Amino acid sequence: MVKVNLDKIKELRKEKGLSQEDVAKMLGFKTVYPYHRKESGQQSFTAEELMTLSQIYNVPYENFFILQVAKNETNKREPA
């Protein structure tokens, strides 16, 4: 399963010296609250928002995704 790497988004924001309020404004939000909900995982980022974040942070949008493997898949053994 592919998931958005919220830790990476937060890390990049801090590296750029931006507050959540700064990024919220760049994404067109009137207040910081909707952005906070997205960065904390309470609400999903849209594809358009992720593309804008990739431009703000000057990184490929692929950097925002991680592959998460189910535990039952990691516990399977290779046949002998």
Q: Could you tell me the domains of the chain?
A: 2-74 (1.10.260.40)
Contact 64, 8 (CB under 8 A): yes
Q: Tokens 């046949």, residue? A: 79
What pLDDT is stored for residue 74 in this prediction? 53
Residue 69's pLDDT band (boundaries 50, 70, 90)? Answer: confident
Q: Which two tokens stand for residue 71?
A: 């535990």
Residue 9: Cβ-neighbour burial (10 angstroms; 0-12, 13-18, 19+): buried
pLDDT in tens, 23-54: 999 999 999 999 999 999 999 999 999 999 99
| pTM of structure | 0.81
